Amino acid sequence: MSEQDIRDERLKKLGVLKAAGMSPYPVDSHRDTSNAQAIAAFDDLEKSGKKIHLGGRVMSLRGQGGIVFADVFDGTGRMQMVLQEAEMDEKLFRLFADSVDTGDFVEASGVMFKTKRGESSLKVKKWRMLAKALLPMPTEHFGLKDEELILRQRYLDILLNSEVRAMFERRTKFWQAAREFYLSRGFIEVETPILENSPGGADARPFKTHHNALDMDVYLRISCGELWQKELLVAGFPKVFEIGRIFRNEGQSREHLQDYTQLESYEAYSDMQKGMEFLKELYRHIVKEVYGKYTFEINGHTVDFAEEWPLIDFCSVIGEKFGINPLTCTEEDAIQAVRDAKIQVGEALNKSRAVDHLWKSIRKSISGPAFLIGVPVYLEPLAKRSSANPEIVERLQVILAGSEMGKAFSELNDPQDQRGRFEEQQMMRDAGDDEAQRLDEEYIRAMEFGMPPSFGFGVSERFFSFLENRPAHEAQLFPLLRPKSEA
């Protein structure tokens, strides 16, 4: 039977409900007990004979003659409802048998009892329809198999696949654990603009749109309020963080999406060295709270968050692997090293991009967790220079399972140095690098009023997808897809 044939049959059953005087989509619900509550209090409910109202989606139906068994799921658990013609109004029993399908939302009142097989169940006295489903669900046994269909009809995938449902429950716990960690340490949570005159705080290509009321072009932010949060440090807030959506108009891959959730935080009177301990505590807190363990298998890597996190020096590992020093090599040397290593790139190269590609080819073999340090100034326009070597910045990256899983710095608070680096970035943009940062005069002006030394950090939901060992888009509830007609 085709889907349209099934829909037509269900429309007829909807008519049967209306003819019997029962609304197929009532305004209210009398449900007063969840399935989980009924299961937890079963002994007391059975003993007392108290009438309760349960409700949920019918996941399966079976029975014949004068008895029907309905397995109902309400989001908290499953409960078997038993309808016996001899125990309830005959017309109401017949209406259930003639009009209810799997997928329908129903409500029933009755008392708890155990069947002959010992299954905790609701003995139904009355029932009514809450929402008649017109389309059939895939059978629970087979579920959805087509990957694109799974993403397009995520609601069915979550309904039928308990593992997927559990993953998204963990996703909620993931961000909750991060939030609790920050709040317990005296940070305040803030919200910064998503629409910006000039996108900053990261090297990325932004989405551009038009603001009709102000008649001007604006950009969707590419960082989680980095420059705004640092202005809040200027304003006198010592510890701030934000968990929010950011948008980058770039390519998709197992690790990269165009819109995703990011955590960013800034702490005054701290720095990269102090921040290392803070981050180890943060990551360990999250994995322990969400998964109850420290060791994970991720993309062929074994990762143990409880181990010590080694330091990896950027220039040293590139020198050992490719024979060039990122601090002193020419642009031609860096580009030639990429060619000699046969690293595939999909962009025009300058020194910065070439050196970055060299590092990324090394990174793939590092299981971590580890901290990458010693990055050249020209790769990071927003971090403070090292006092030991002004050619490198006080920046660290968390390396995990061959990828970058968070970035942090001792924040640059020298407005003159910041202006010089912004100007270098602007020249790169003018030369065709559309991911280089823009000169932001307003941010420099705020910094000229004085910004305290501080530690800044950011990590995205990529961390969660890695812990789940899934591609990034599979770990999102509703990833962006082409319209079906264009797919």
Indicate the pLDDT class of residue 429, thresholds 50, 70 and 90: confident
φ, ψ of residue 109 to 5 degrees: the values are -115, 150
Residue range 158-310+368-486 forms a domain whose CATH class is: alpha beta
What does residue 105 show for φ and ψ, rounded to 5 degrees?
-95, 125
How far apart (Å, rounded) are the C-alpha atoms in residues 208 and 198? Answer: 10
What residues contact 224, with CB distance under 8 A and at least 6 apart? 192, 201, 242, 243, 244, 246, 262, 263, 264, 458
What are the tens digits of pLDDT across the range 88-134?
999 999 999 999 999 999 999 999 999 999 999 999 999 999 999 99
Residue whose tokens read 């050992």: 320
Confidence of residue 204 (pLDDT cuts 50, 70, 90): confident
Contact 171, 177 (CB under 8 A): no
More confident residue, 421 or 323: 323
Residue 454: pLDDT over 80: yes
Summarised one tens digit per residue, pLDDT across range 269-293 is: 999 999 999 999 999 999 999 999 9
State the Cα–Cα distance between residues 309 and 367, nearest whole angstrom. 11
Is 60 exceeded by the pLDDT of residue 168?
yes
Q: How far apart are CA 378 and CA 420, in angstroms?
A: 11
- The domain segmentation of the chain, as residue ranges, is 3-131, 158-310+368-486
371, β-bridge pairs: 311, 398
Q: What is the pLDDT of residue 144?
A: 64
Nearest to 260 by CA among 468, 463, 486, 408: 463
- At residue 137, the pLDDT reads 87
pLDDT over 70 at 142, yes or no: no
What pLDDT sits at residue 472? 92
Q: Name the residue with higher pLDDT: 252 or 228.
A: 228
pLDDT, mean of residues 448-453: 93
Q: Highest-confidence range of 107-121, 136-150, 244-258, by mean pLDDT?
A: 107-121
Nearest CA to 83 out of 101, 92, 39 is that of 92
What token pair was written down for 109?
Answer: 């009142």
pLDDT classification of 79: cutoffs 50, 70, 90 = very high
**Summary mean pLDDT of the chain:** 92
Instruction: Say what the pLDDT of residue 141 is.
Output: 54
Give the predicted TM-score (pTM) of the model: 0.88
Rounded CA Rg of the chain:
29
In percent, the amount of the chain with pLDDT more than 90 equals 76
Q: What is the mean pLDDT of residues 193-204?
A: 83
State residue 68's pLDDT score: 96
Per-residue H/E/C for the chain: CCHHHHHHHHHHHHHHHHHCCCCCCCCCCCCCCCHHHHHHCHHHHHHHCCCEEEEEEEEEEEEECCEEEEEEECCCCEEEEEEEHHHCCHHHHHHHHHHCCCCCEEEEEEEEEECCCCCEEEEEEEEEEEECCCCCCCCCCCCCCCHHHHHHCHHHHHHHCHHHHHHHHHHHHHHHHHHHHHHCCCCEECCCCCEECCCCCCCCCCCEEEECCCCEEEEECCCCCHHHHHHHHHCCCCEEEEEEEEECCCCCCCCCCCEEEEEEEEEECCCHHHHHHHHHHHHHHHHHHHHCCCEEEECCEEEECCCCCCEEEHHHHHHHHHCCCCCCCCHHHHHHHHHHCCCCCCCCCCHHHHHHHHHHHHHCCCCCCEEEECCEHHHCCCECECCCCCCEECEEEEEECCEEEEEEEEECCCHHHHHHHHHHHHHHHHCCCCCCCCCCHHHHHHHHCCCCCEEEEEEECHHHHHHHCCCHHHHCCCCCCCCHHHC
Going by pLDDT thresholds of 50, 70 and 90, the confidence category of residue 36 is: very high
Strand pairing report for 239-247 and 188-189: parallel
What share of the chain has pLDDT > 70, as a percent?
Answer: 98
- Phi/psi at 238 (5° precision): -85, -25
pLDDT top residue among 138 and 298:
298
Relative to beta strand 216-220, strand 67-73 is: unpaired
**Residue 487 pLDDT exceeds 60:** no
3-131 and 158-310+368-486 have identical folds: no
Strand partners, 69: 62, 82
Closest CA to 233 of 200, 264, 263, 273: 264
- AA identity, residue 215: D
pLDDT at 380: 83
Q: Give 441: exposed, middle or buried? Use CB within 10 Å, 0-12, 13-18, 19+.
A: exposed
Average the pLDDT over 151-167 and give the result: 90
Architecture of the domain whose range is 3-131: Beta Barrel (2.40)
* 205-232 core/surface letters (b: 16 or more CB in 10 A; e: else): ebeeeeeeeeeeebbbbbbbbbbbbbbb
Residue 130 contacts residue 164 (beta carbons within 8 Å): no
